[in-house]
Amino acid sequence: MNDIKFLECPSCGARITGDKKFCDYCGGKLRVPEEKKKSTEVDSQSSQVKPQEYTRTVYIQKEQKTTSGLAVAAFIMSLFNFNIISLIMGIVANSRISKPDSNLTGKGFAIAAIVLSAIQTIFWIIWGITLCSVANYY
pLDDT (tens digit per residue) in 109-134:
999 999 999 999 999 999 999 999 88
For residues 93 and 44, the model is more confident at: 93
Q: What is the pLDDT at residue 17?
A: 75
pLDDT, tens only, 8-62? 787 787 877 777 777 877 887 777 655 444 445 555 555 565 555 666 666 666 6
Mean local confidence (pLDDT), 88-96? 96
Residue pair 13/24 in contact by the 8 Å Cβ criterion: no
